[in-house]
């Protein structure tokens, strides 16, 4: 199952940190979002839409509002105050499927900073996510998962810089990660001309990937990955990527 949320007609007023503001074509964003949901369905997901929040510009980016584990969903406290009003609608959608725990002040956490690979949880310390939230996450899931923090620079979230491919190899831009938190792990590096290309969505063996990164895509295809391409140009203008628009909840 995948939780999604409708594109807000106010998306042009989204938060932006590393991207210059450009006009966003809302009609085009709606069409792209439908195609994204269709790709999720092809990958075997039933779509559950959280209640629409037309007044909240970034509400389509549900990934940031929670982190879903098999045992529990951890509801985030987003680092951008403008995004905290997104929480109740996502809580409501997830509450039917998981017990809920919450990150509370002074913790701030965006789900885009949390990469889960098996029993390992990597948390980006970024402009949105702080050490207090990592401590809280340890308190909630630390008995079952190993939690490591990773410094992130030059991009919005950890998952802008690294995600897991269907075989758990990493897709990574090492320029945006501090130190060697992922040293020794099998990885595919993004093409140097495509720094934002590390965000891929792996679900049940499928790999959903943005049209914007043909060089890295070719690299993935040559390695034997079967790539399902989606055009997310309007979301990229809002600093969103392919993982950001869904919360995957496994049965």
Q: Which of 14, 45, 157, 245 is catalytic?
A: 157
User: What's the token pair of residue 206?
Assistant: 């499928």
Instruction: Tell me if 86 contacts ligand CIR by CB under 6 A.
Output: no
Can you point out the beta strands (E) in the chain? 2-4, 47-49, 66-68, 73-75, 100-102, 114-117, 120-125, 146-151, 162-164, 170-172, 187-189, 201-203, 206-210, 227-230, 247-248
Residue with tokens 């399902």, as numbered in its chain? 228
What is the rounded distance in angstroms from the CA atom of residue 187 to the CA atom of residue 164? 9
Residue whose CB is nearest to ligand CIR in the complex, by number? 112
Report strand pairing: 100-102 vs 114-117.
Answer: unpaired
Q: Which is nearer to ligand CIR, 156 or 170 (CB)?
A: 156
The contact pattern for ligand CIR, residues 7-46, with x = CB under 6 A and - = no contact, is -------xx-x-----------------------------
**The only residue of 238, 242, 247, 249 in contact with ligand CIR, by rule CB under 6 A:** 238
Instruction: Tell me if 162 contacts ligand CIR by CB under 6 A.
Output: no
Instruction: Tell me if 234 contacts ligand CIR by CB under 6 A.
Output: no
Annotation says 33 is catalytic: no
User: What's the token pair of residue 171?
Assistant: 């897709």
For residue 23, give Cα distances in angstroms to 191, 232, 233, 244: 27, 14, 11, 20
Is-contact 33 60, C-beta < 8 A?
yes
Annotation says 45 is catalytic: no
**The only residue of 30, 80, 187, 188 in contact with ligand CIR, by rule CB under 6 A:** 80
**The only residue of 241, 242, 247, 249 in contact with ligand CIR, by rule CB under 6 A:** 241
At its nearest, how many Å lie between ligand CIR and the CB of residue 239?
4
Q: Which residues bind ligand CIR (CB under 6 A)?
A: 14-15, 17, 58, 61, 63-64, 80, 83, 112, 156-157, 238-241, 244
């Amino acid at each position: 199952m995948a939780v999604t949320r409708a594109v807000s007609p106010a998306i042009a007023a989204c938060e932006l940190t590393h991207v210059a503001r450009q006009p966003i074509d809302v009609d085009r964003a709606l069409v792209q979002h439908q195609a994204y949901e269709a790709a999720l369905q092809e990958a075997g997901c039933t779509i559950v839409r959280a209640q629409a929040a037309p007044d909240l510009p970034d509400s389509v980016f549900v990934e940031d509002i929670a982190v879903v584990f098999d045992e529990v969903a951890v509801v985030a406290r987003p680092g951008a105050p403008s995004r905290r009003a997104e929480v109740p609608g996502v809580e409501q959608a997830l509450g039917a499927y998981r017990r809920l725990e919450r990150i509370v002040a002074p913790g701030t956490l965006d789900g885009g900073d949390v990469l889960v690979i098996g029993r390992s949880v990597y948390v980006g310390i970024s402009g949105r996510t702080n050490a207090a939230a990592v401590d809280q996450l340890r308190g909630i899931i630390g008995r079952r998962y190993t939690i490591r923090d990773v410094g992130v620079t030059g991009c919005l979230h950890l998952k802008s810089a690294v995600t897991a491919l269907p075989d758990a190899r990493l897709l990574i831009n090492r320029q945006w990660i501090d130190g060697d938190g992922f040293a020794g792990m099998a990885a595919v590096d993004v093409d140097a001309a495509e720094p934002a290309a590390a965000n891929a969505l792996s679900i049940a063996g499928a790999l959903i990937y943005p049209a914007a990164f043909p060089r890295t895509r070719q690299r993935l295809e040559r390695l034997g990955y079967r790539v399902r391409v989606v055009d997310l140009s309007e979301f990229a203008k809002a600093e969103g990527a392919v993982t950001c628009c869904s919360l995957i909840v496994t049965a």
